[in-house]
Structures are given as C-alpha cells and as structure tokens.
Structure 1
Amino acid sequence: MLIRYGYDFTLYCARETPVVTMVSARTERAGDMLCPEVHTRFPDVEEEIYTDSFGNICRRFNAPSGVIRLHGVGYMRDSGLLDPVTPDAPEHDVSDLPDEALMYLLSSRYCEVDRMSQLAWDLFGNTAPGWGRVQAICDYVHGHIRFNYQDARNTRSAFDAWQEGRGVCRDFAHLAITLCRCMNIPARYVNGQLGDFGIPYTADPMDYAAWMEVYLGGAWHTFDPRNNKRRIGRIVIAYGRDAVDVPMITSFGPHLLQSFTVITDEVSEADLAQQDAAQ
C-alpha cells in the first residue's frame, strides 16, 4: 500500500520567534519513501535541518511576526501488514541490556518510575516475564484509562493518568511505559502517524498518535496501549523517553496554533500520476 502523510499548520507569533518542528519521518523508513518529503513555509523563511540525540529529524527556523503556514507531505510504501507479534521474545536481565537501552528504564518528566514501582510489582510481579507481561500491562492500561479527546492535558503524568483514569493516547503510552520500566523492561515513547487502515471509519479528525516500543529479545517491539490491537501503516516521526523529547512544535517565545491538520491516507500510484499530469 502507499500512504500519503503530512501536515498543515498555521501559527501566529506576535514577534519574530525561533521555532523547531519535529514532523519528518525517521530515516529508518527512508528506503520506503516514494520520493523525498516536501516541507514548505509561507512566508518562505530559511530553515536548518539537524538530528537530535535520539536520531529524530528537527527543522529549525525563525517564524516572522504575524502568521506563518507550515505544510509538509510525503509518500510512504508500506507492507499493509499488521504490527508483528513475537510472543516468545524474552526479557533481558538489566546486566545484559545494551548501554543505549538503560535510559529507557529510568524515571523521566512524565514517567515516574520511582513513584509507581510498588504498584507495578503488585500488579505484574507474578506475570510470566517477556511478551506476555508487556501485553498484560497494555491490557491493564487500556482498561484503566477512559479515552476522550476533551481530557487532553499537557501536564498530566503517568501517575496522574493512573489516579484520574482518563486521558488521551499520550497518557496511555506514558502509563504503560512507566509500568514496563518499573518491571525493568526498557520502554520508549513514540510519536507518529497512524491512519484508519483496516478499522471502521470514524469521523474524528486525524491527529498524531502516541504508542510505545519495548526492548525484548534483542529488538524493539511496538505496543499500543490506547488501541490495544495490532494496526497497519504506522509511520514513526520521533521517539524519546516521553513526550518531552518529541514535541511537534517548540517555540522559544509564545505562539498561537490557529489551525492544525494531519494527513494520513491511502493513495494509489495511479492517482499520483494523474495529479502530476494535471500539474
């Protein structure tokens, strides 16, 4: 399948403001891109592209005073298969983990491992280690939190989400990540695009999605506590310790997000050929 993905944002800044966006697909999928992504700014201010310490692609520019529109589009080939399942993937002893995985065992801004450790061991200490334990954590989080777009709050931590029992996809991810880390399973936060492929259509506007990856059996594996099912066509934009590391827009000064559209849909190469011919 061929996925068209992208965004269209409008920002207002009262004065010239430095901005960093994180909206490009990670380079691991570069071989699946039909063509390079196209990113434009109106007005067309100069940008610099760099890679952060997690390998995420960042775009840096100065937004002028007034309104600026940010637009991007890419085309990604995808297998159309569901997220893989590896039920025999084992946990690792901490002493056997690679150095780069250790940071994903520690507390972070939204994932209070120290505060939730006893709860995690009470809930999952008798669960068989490995894939099944992570799935049990996802089952618990999926059942414990009530999803509602109106319940979004950017200050809510994993502990808050557990106490309140409500939130959005980032809250599901933060709570599941924290419980995994409490059980000495490395877990990282993922921000990406996930279209409504292979599921019933919903009228909800498209948005970025959050899920997690856990380190089992020498590899990182996708788990999605918000949906709690395998899905088709994930496009990873960024990952890090939690949502602090993967902001879609960071402005060094106030900005107002006037409009916000996320694009993730299936297209055919014939459709693209017709569009190119029309242009």
Structure 2
Amino acid sequence: MKATKRPIQAVARWLRRQPPKMKVFLAVVSGLAALFFLRMVVHDHDNLFVAAEVVHSIGISVLIYKLMKEKTCAGLSLKSQELTAIFLAVRLYCSFVMEYDIHTLLDSATLLTTLWVIYTIRFNLRSSYMEDKDNFAIYYLVIPCAVLALFIHPRTHHHIVNRICWAFCVYLESISVLPQLQVMQNTKIIEPFTAHYVFALGVARFLGCAHWVLQVLDTGGHLLTAMGYGLWPFMVLLSEIVQTFILADFCYYYVKRWCSWWTTCSKAPRRSSVSYSALLR
C-alpha cells in the first residue's frame, strides 16, 4: 500500500512547488489530454452530454444526503439553487417543445431534486441558512442573461420565444454557480459535502464542454452552422468554456486538498483524528 501512495505524495509535493504559470500550463495540458482520451474512448460523443447531466444529478444527490443526514444547510447558497431551478425549468420547457428525449427525463429529475433542496433550505432548515453570507444579487445575473438572449439566440426554424428561452438558459447555467462560490469566499469555510457538490458541477461542466468541442471537431466545424448562423454557435461554446474555467480553480484546490488528505492519512494511518473536513477548511 505504501508503494502505491508514495508516487502520489511525490507528485502532490512537486505540484505544490510549481509557480502559478506552470500550474496553469499543466492544467491546460491535462485538459487537452483528457479531451483526447475522451475522444478515443467515447465513440458517441452525445453520451458526454448525458454523462454531464448524470454527474450534475449525483451532485444534487450529495446535497440531499447532507441535508437529510446533518440537518443543516450551512455553507449552501440558496440563490445558486434558485438560479439552477430557473435555468432547468426553462431548459425543460424548451426540451418539451423542441426536442423530447433522454435529456428531458434527466432535467426533470434534476429539477425536482433541486426544488426539494430549495424547499428544505427555505422551510425545514431555515435556522442554519447563512443568509447574510449568501448576499449575491441574482438579478445582476438574470437580467444580463435575458438581455443577451434577446440579441444573440439560435437562428433556427423554432418559434422566436423558444429560441430566446433556450439562449437564456444556456447563458444563465454558465454563471449560476457564482453565488455558491461567493458563499464559500465569504465564510472562508468549505464544508465537505458542499465541496463534493461543487466538484461534481465542475466535472459536469468539463464533460459538457468536451461534448461541444469534440462534436465540432468530429463534424469539421459543420456543427456550428447546423446550430445557426451569427454569434450564437460561438456563444454556446464560450458559455461552456466560461463555466468550466469558473469551476476549474475550485476543482484544482479540491484535488489539492484531497492529495493533502491522502498524504496526511498515509503518514498517520492509525490516528482517528485525521479529518477530511478539517483539511477542507
């Protein structure tokens, strides 16, 4: 067991010693390597988008477990959950009227669980909700996304209202996690289950971004024209990339803390006081 842990410890220590620019370079290289791996392993790249929604659902399930087991919503952003419910509801509407498929079922399940989380925070666990820390004004996100959707949306054969709604949910999804990240910054504490949830969002966004990038490569760029003309195809890719980069920094520190936990446990395997939650604080 020690032989398998030592290389991980060495890599973790080496990464900690690297300057920021090298870390960024390594992150980009790792991302490209992951894209290449997914392209070789996953033959139908539409499955990546399904996988992204499944991972998102798993992240919501982690929150439900936290709320039911610990009976506290400390560290959670109600506003991020509300933004998630908004874009899921809009996307679900668009899915019903534009393309009813497996995504419709996954979005339905994720929306229902998100609404349950919102209800639990608002009514059952209101006393533990850090309202003073969750102070991001969501209209600063909703209104710009709505205005942007009015001007930049798909140029397909669907009704104009449906096309605007689809663009709105794409833009809002890309920044819906910002209130949650602000809560973490305001509290200076990363509660473990919340960390798992945000990390799941990061993985889901990477898979979603990989789906679009690989689809564009597979079609030789024809997918962009199939999605419509103008700025819309590029805004879809930009939205995916923006959300991926927003979460990339957190995911980096999440993995870094996990490596620190692994190293600490390997040094003191018999000490029951080694706490993962303490290392995330």
Q: Quickly name the TM-score band, shorter chain normalised.
A: under 0.3
Identify the structure with the greater helix proportion.
2
Length-normalised TM-score, structure 1: 0.25
Length-normalised TM-score, structure 2: 0.25
